[in-house]
Amino acid sequence: MDYRKRFAVAPGAKPKLAEIDPDFHGDGLDRAAADEEIARDIARMSALQERLYAEAKQSLLIVLQALDAGGKDGVIRHLFTGMNPQGVSVHCFKQPTPEELAHDFLWRAHRWAPARGEVAIFNRSHYEDVLVVRTHKLAPASAWPQRYAAINDFERQLARAGTRILKFYLHISPEEQLERFRQRLDDPARQWKISESDYDERKLWPDYMVAYEEAIAATSVETAPWRIIPSNRKWFRNLAISQIVADAMEAMKIETPPPRVDLAEIRRKHHAAAERARNRPT
């Protein structure tokens, strides 16, 4: 199945999250088969990332948005560990620092955008300023259209500079979120992730759904479409995202650069060095 098209939000579309089943997990697909396909996709991503790093002409930005316990950390941990850390960065957008607040809201995002040859993963992103800020009414309603336009301009600028942008909303149900909170409470290794605000934010679930729907509708454009990924089943979430990322990287037509040296001369030096090594007294 081609998940690139199935979960993509077409430009101008207005998604209704209540109509999208977060428990969808393929048509007759089982986890064992999915795990095999995920492994193949991870291998593809690893090889393509090495080529991207060598080519140093394009870059990739992966945006992960979700409510608490939506699976952003899990996606990063399971899908991108095969990539070379030298060419990958992960940035988590938390509460703005005083330095960040002294600039426009996109400043901190631009600082972490990938350079040519790199992959950048945003765990939350510049969209927090039209999601959390909006839901908590930290800016007037008149700010949203202006910020959507600014985000679209920012992403168009990145695309013109050679950055492929993949944006994922990890869609879970309120029931699944509560179950994941329970699992954290019962697991001493993960209890540090729980906070009182997690439960306070649940009361704002309807407001968050409206904020996500409007932000996705306003910013899903041809060069940077949103994809709404059913994420109640972690294995299916990983399968869909791994396929989309690997296919997108292949579509970038990344080329291995030609050698920067005279290979014949290098081979001559190599053979000479090997000959000296063989003749070295023991």
Tell me the C-alpha to C-alpha distance, in Å, between residue 9 and each of 99, 167, 168, 214, 221: 34, 10, 10, 12, 8
Q: Tell me, what's the pLDDT at 282?
A: 67
pLDDT digits (tens, 9 = 90+) for 199-227: 999 999 999 999 999 999 999 999 999 99
Number of domains present in the structure of the chain: 1
Spatial CB neighbours of 35, under 8 Å, sequence gap ≥ 6: 235
Task: Return the CATH number at 43.
Answer: 3.40.50.300
pLDDT digits (tens, 9 = 90+) for 11-30: 999 999 999 999 999 888 88
Q: What is the largest CA-CA distance in the chain?
A: 81
Q: Tell me, what's the pLDDT at 173?
A: 98
Tell me the C-alpha to C-alpha distance, in Å, between residue 33 and each of 28, 36, 235: 10, 5, 10
Structure tokens at 14: 């207005």
8 A C-beta contact, residue 252 and residue 117: no
Confidence of residue 8 (pLDDT cuts 50, 70, 90): very high
HEC states along 69-100? Answer: CCCHHHHHHHHCCCCCHHHEEEEECCCCCHHH
Q: Which residues form the domain of 181?
A: 3-279
The amino acid at 48: L
pTM above 0.85, yes or no: yes
pLDDT digits (tens, 9 = 90+) for 149-204: 999 999 999 999 999 999 999 999 999 999 999 999 999 999 998 888 889 999 99
